[in-house]
Amino acid sequence: MPANWSYVIAAYGIAAAALFGYWRHLARRARALTARPGAVVPHRTPRRTPS
């Protein structure tokens, strides 16, 4: 029974590259959109500052 590790590494490597690439794409897109002038960024609670 051959080990066939090269196939396992190729499958996991390609999947990891695709998932990481998509994650980076989302992060870049979100950064670009929130950096626009006048962009509304919801769901952020402002941190309280001591008075």
To other proteins, the closest distance from the beta carbon of 48 in angstroms equals 19
Q: Which residues bind other proteins (CB under 8 A)?
A: 1-5, 7-8, 10-12, 14-15, 18-19, 22-23, 26-27, 29-30, 33-34, 39-41, 43
To other proteins, the closest distance from the beta carbon of 49 in angstroms equals 22
**Beta carbons within 8 Å of 41's beta carbon, 6+ residues apart:** 34
To other proteins, the closest distance from the beta carbon of 26 in angstroms equals 5
